[in-house]
Amino acid sequence: VNVKQVHRTGFHFQPKKHWINGSFFQISISLRLLLLPFYNAHVYSFYIFDLAILLNLSPHFMLTGPMYFKGVYHLFYQYNPKGAVWGNIVWAHSVSTDLINWIPLEPAIYPSKPFDQYGCWSGSATILPGNKPIILYTGIVDPKPAQTQVQNYAVPANYSDPYLREWIKPDNNPLVAANNGENSTAFRDPTTAWWVNGHWRILVGSRRKNRGMAYLYRSRDFMKWTKAKHPLHSSAKTGMWECPDFFPVSKQGATGLDTSVVGENVKHVLKVSLDVTRFEYYTLGTYFPKIDRYVPDNTSVDGWAGLRYDYGNFYASKTFFDAGKNRRILWGWANESDTPDEDVQKGWAGIQLIPRSLWLDSSGKQLLQWPIEELETLRGEKVQMNNVKLNKGDYTEVKGIPAAQTDVEVTFSFPSLDKAEPFDPSWETIDAQKLCSLKGSTVQGGVGPFGLLTLASEKLEEYTPVFFRIFKAQDKHRVLMCSDATTSSLKDGLYKPSYAGYVDVDLANKKLSLRSLIDHSVVESFGAGGKTVISSRVYPTLAVFDDAHLYAFNNGTETVTVETLDAWSMKKPLMN
Ligand code: DQQ
């Protein structure tokens, strides 16, 4: 782990070593009364805290003054303390005041009781009245192959410790076990609870044969839980629903809402992670609290063709309501797409993608996402490009920033859509990813392909293109966005998918924007202001450190203009 590692990320969340996986949850404890305008003092205290940990002093002592609090974010994540492969799962714990700089603490929850001795799997936190966090998590009570699952709770040993380092798992656990009706070996990942009409409610992910299920449980006191007669929702042929997430979004504006908000002014989102294909989808719909039913909108389908937060490597995500900044934040995990042997060699596997704000698009038909604003504090030198015309086959280098660790925002424009390629009706039956694999960045088009060549070697032996391609369908245009790993590395044995999704965007102003967060082995791209997001993991051999380049390109017959392009070098945050 000491060797200079070419694929370790510079500004994404990673522990020092070993395996991390999805099913994280985050809580933000906002001590509103203690809001502090002096951000620098705050950060300063944070470093003292770090030092205190190093010196094994009591950080509590260092930070008893309320001056230093604005809010503390906690990340608990699935972690193998013994190696770079999945196993021995505990809840590792890191804290932050900005979701960008992280300090590691001791694991919060680890196997130690009969109700969790074979693993502490995913779950969620809820803040109970009086600002009291409580964790619900899945305990594994017997070894493989059964791995019977129950739902447990844990509470802080000391509520006045702002870092909540120690958690107690009381003896009245488990709170919820499977009945005869449920599949006890596919019964996990309790959600954040919401409170409505005098009861708390949670979901537990499961399957009945091949039908994905979100079982609903109710409780008055958080201790005695009763299963509702009907699941909140279920869907045939989707398999096990891992890490369900259920929350309201405002019908108007980007302001986030507490998980318990219901009523006329909100829509609800139900997200599930599909075990079989390892991707997630969500639906938007209406929640009827009186009958405890959730009905997806007819524009929002369940299953393989459903809407996705991210059309790339993104799994086991969770959202949480950040009461400090009144926003809902989405956070997902990306696994490696090299081999397990390589992970053992690297000594680590898995990263967290950059946290994203998430809200309802004005169409009401999809969500929008954008990297949290705090990420911008890492921006260093900036380079710009304006009004650069790209004819068919042109590519132009973005010079002057280290292209392996960059945040880049670009707006492309095109004079007309007349040259858009016709959309072949037979493509309706294949998914976007398949179409991207047929129509890669080197396949000449009409309007597009145009976009960025990220993590590119000088002579383009390696590059990960992120691009748009516009088609003319029956009565509208269709925009395909791709993040294609096929050419990302000269190395064999890697998983190099042509990730892609459609972008439901109005092209009236003849512009398309793209933002990519490039970080050594990850490229996270936000199309059209966060309408479509795609994350790829890639492992270049030549395009590393200072030998990585960034280009804008066009390979369509219509000339495209880089109207504006801003790229920043990205500093390294404090990372565990
Ligand atoms: N992995 C966890 C489960 C969850 C899955 C175990 C998601 O709780 O269902 O580490 O990756």
pLDDT reported for residue 39: 31
Question: The domain that contains 88 carries what CATH number?
Answer: 2.115.10.20
**In this model, does residue 570 exceed pLDDT 70?**
yes
Q: Which of 306, 337, 371 is the last residue of a domain?
A: 371
Per-residue model confidence as pLDDT tens digits over 375-394? 999 999 999 999 999 999 99
**In this model, does residue 30 exceed pLDDT 50?**
no
Higher pLDDT, 176 or 160: 176
Q: Is residue 48 in a domain?
A: no
Query: Which ipTM did the prediction report?
Result: 0.97
140 CA distance to ligand 1 centroid (A)? 11
Q: What is the mean pLDDT of the chain?
A: 91
Q: Which of 371, 405, 435 is the last residue of a domain?
A: 371
User: Which helix (H) or strand (E) is 42 found in, with range?
Assistant: helix 39-54
**In this model, does residue 443 exceed pLDDT 90?**
yes
**In this model, does residue 36 exceed pLDDT 90?**
no
Q: Which of 329, 348, 371 is the last residue of a domain?
A: 371
Q: Would you say the CB of residue 243 lies under 6 angstroms from ligand 1?
A: yes
pLDDT band at 3 (very low <50, low <70, confident <90, very high): low
C-beta separation of 465 from 443 below 8 A? no
Whole-number Å distance between alpha carbons of 139 and 150: 5
Q: Is residue 445 in a domain?
A: yes
335 CA distance to ligand 1 centroid (A)? 12
Q: Are residues 349 and 394 in the same domain?
A: no
Cross-strand pairs, 479 = 470, 503
Give whole-number Cα distances, 393 to 238, 351, 553, in Å.
42, 35, 7
Phi, psi of 397, deg, nearest 5:
-85, 140
Residues 6+ apart with CB under 8 A from 57: none
pLDDT reported for residue 66: 16
463 CA distance to ligand 1 centroid (A)? 32
**In this model, does residue 54 exceed pLDDT 90?**
no
User: Ligand 1 pocket test: which of 18, 19, 21 has the largest number of ligand atoms within 8 Å of its C-beta?
Assistant: 21
Q: Is residue 39 in a domain?
A: no
Residues 6+ apart with CB under 8 A from 414: 447, 510, 511, 558, 559, 560, 561
Q: Are residues 133 and 172 in the same domain?
A: yes
C-beta separation of 138 from 189 below 8 A? yes
Q: Is residue 60 in a domain?
A: no
Per-residue model confidence as pLDDT tens digits over 527-548? 999 999 999 999 999 999 999 9
pLDDT band at 4 (very low <50, low <70, confident <90, very high): low
Domain count, the chain: 2
Q: Is residue 63 in a domain?
A: no
- Cα–Cα–Cα angle for 232, 235, 237, nearest 5°? 155
DSSP character at residue 457: -
Which of 208, 213, 190 is closest to 200 using CA atoms? Answer: 190
Per-residue model confidence as pLDDT tens digits over 456-490? 999 999 999 999 999 999 889 999 999 999 999 99
Give the closest residue (by CA) to ligand 1 atom 6: 121
Q: Are residues 365 and 393 in the same domain?
A: no
**In this model, does residue 27 exceed pLDDT 50?**
no
Question: The domain that contains 444 carries what CATH number?
Answer: 2.60.120.560
User: Ligand 1 pocket test: which of 18, 19, 20, 23 has the largest number of ligand atoms within 8 Å of its C-beta?
Assistant: 23
Q: Are residues 333 and 469 in the same domain?
A: no
Q: Are residues 179 and 315 in the same domain?
A: yes
Q: Would you say the CB of residue 401 lies under 6 angstroms from ligand 1?
A: no
Q: Are residues 211 and 266 in the same domain?
A: yes
Q: Are residues 354 and 420 in the same domain?
A: no
24 CA distance to ligand 1 centroid (A)? 9
Q: Is residue 9 in a domain?
A: no
Q: Are residues 425 and 544 in the same domain?
A: yes
User: Which helix (H) or strand (E) is 427 found in, with range?
Assistant: none
Whole-number Å distance between alpha carbons of 513 and 342: 35
Domain coverage including residue 393: 377-570
Q: Is residue 526 in a domain?
A: yes
CA distance from start to end of the chain: 15
Tokens of 274: 């599909």
Whole-number Å distance between alpha carbons of 514 and 532: 10
Which of 328, 329, 323, 330 is closest to 31 using CA atoms? Answer: 323
**In this model, does residue 34 exceed pLDDT 50?**
no
456 CA distance to ligand 1 centroid (A)? 34
Q: Is residue 181 in a domain?
A: yes
pLDDT reported for residue 23: 52
